Amino acid sequence: MSDPSGLDTRLDEVARQYDDLNAELALPETSRDVEAIKRLGQEIARLEPAVEAYRRLRRVRDELAGARAMREEAADDEMRSLVREEIDRLETDEARLVDELKVLLLPRDPADDGNVIVEIRAGAGGEEAALFASELLRMYLSYARNHGWRAEVMSLNETGINGVKEAIVEISGDGAYSRLKFEGGTHRVQRVPQTESSGRIHTSTATVVVMPEVEEHEVEIDEDRDLRIDVKRSSGPGGQSVNTTDSAVRITHLPTGMVVEIQDEKSQHKNKAKALAVLRARLQEADRQKQREADSAARRSMIGAGDRADKIRTYNYPQDRVTDHRVGMDLSNLPRVLGGDLDKLIDTLITTDQAERLAAVVESGAPG
């Protein structure tokens, strides 16, 4: 069978790689190497869905070849009709598996399986924006809880009436980044604020930044040369002292001017470790953003830029509606969405991103 798209050739390579990894995992010396077992297991798990789908495709093609041969040999119209129905079913299965495999072979973001750092900041709208940022924080904490992930608020800068000026959250769990990475951008709320006596609808915003968590060895930082670290007394809303020790840590990355301040822990060392984790994530995300801007396919995509200036979603209280502007999707029952029921939105964003990247592959003429 000809392979003009290069799909079968690529799948043969993936299947060989999968078999080689399993053979390496079965070696006696591998059983004594915990790191090797972990690495091989992760690679095998990553390739397995494509290999299993490819094996199903080959079985379907074998059955299809047999059915077509039977059609040529069919002795009567009734038999030919039955065989034709079988061929139609198998051709549908073949087309579905080919589409599935094209998606499975798309270049994969290595950060997808890992943990994520989410930053939420109040935008335009004063106290109403801070209240909205607080609701977004609760929404993502609920979403993490619904998926069995662990969520830790690393930094929280609140206003006096339960609003949030800025929050930084670490969410840990399998696939956390892959599910949340399209949440980055400007979120907009339209509603009548509690403080508005005339009943006018106001529009306020909050920005969300989503970054994969970075291992220490992935981003090198020369603490002596690149960082200025200031320590001060922690303070809460209104300036009151949180504790009596100088535990708040403010790190300035001198080459870029990035500043991270963490004061949530009573331990200076813990606050410093958290601040460094956020700084590493921000530095890597800046590099990833440069790469996306240089990549024409990514630049054309509606999904995946994650730029905080992009208005991505509106939460309209009077109409009880959430609209994602990137995919033109409207959902009713706004309280349910703000309660963490985001999967319908996120699934649509992921599917749309896959379709766009597939179209870019086809346009570039690259093998599937």
Taking Cα atoms as reference points, which of 307, 286, 300, 305 lies closest to residue 186? 307
* Ramachandran category for residue 126: left, alpha or beta (phi over 0 → left; psi -120 to 50 → alpha): left
Question: Where are any strands of DSSP class E within the chain?
Answer: 116-122, 150-158, 164-172, 185-191, 202-212, 227-232, 248-253, 258-262, 311-316, 321-324, 329-332
What number is the average pLDDT over the span 296-324?
74
- Residue 107 amino acid letter: P
Q: What tokens does 52 get?
A: 């299993």
C-alpha to C-alpha distances, 290 to 66, 78, 201, 215, nearest whole angstrom:
52, 63, 38, 20
Q: 311-316 and 185-191: which strand pairing?
A: parallel
Give the pLDDT band (50/70/90) at residue 53.
Answer: very high
The mean pLDDT value of the chain amounts to 85
Q: Residue 367's pLDDT is what?
A: 42
Chain centre to alpha carbon of residue 230: 33
DSSP state of 241: B
Q: Which of 210-219, 228-237, 327-336 has the highest mean pLDDT?
A: 327-336
What number is the average pLDDT over the span 14-24?
94
Give the pLDDT band (50/70/90) at residue 245.
Answer: low
End-to-end CA distance of the chain: 16
What number is the average pLDDT over the span 270-290?
88
Q: Residue 46's pLDDT is what?
A: 84
Q: Residue 3's pLDDT is what?
A: 58
Listed in sequence order, the DSSP H helices in 5-150 are 7-25, 34-73, 77-104, 126-146
CATH numbers and ranges of domains, the chain:
7-104 (1.20.58), 116-355 (3.30.70.1660)
With a CB cutoff of 8 Å and minimum separation 6, the contacts of 368 are 5, 6, 7, 10, 101, 102, 105, 361
Q: Is the pLDDT of residue 78 over 70?
A: yes
How far is residue 61's CA from residue 69's CA, in Å, rounded to a whole number?
12
Q: Is the pLDDT of residue 15 over 90?
A: yes
How far is residue 96's CA from residue 298's CA, in Å, rounded to a whole number?
26
Q: Is the dihedral of CA 213, 218, 222, 226 positive or negative?
A: negative
Q: Residue 238's pLDDT is what?
A: 43
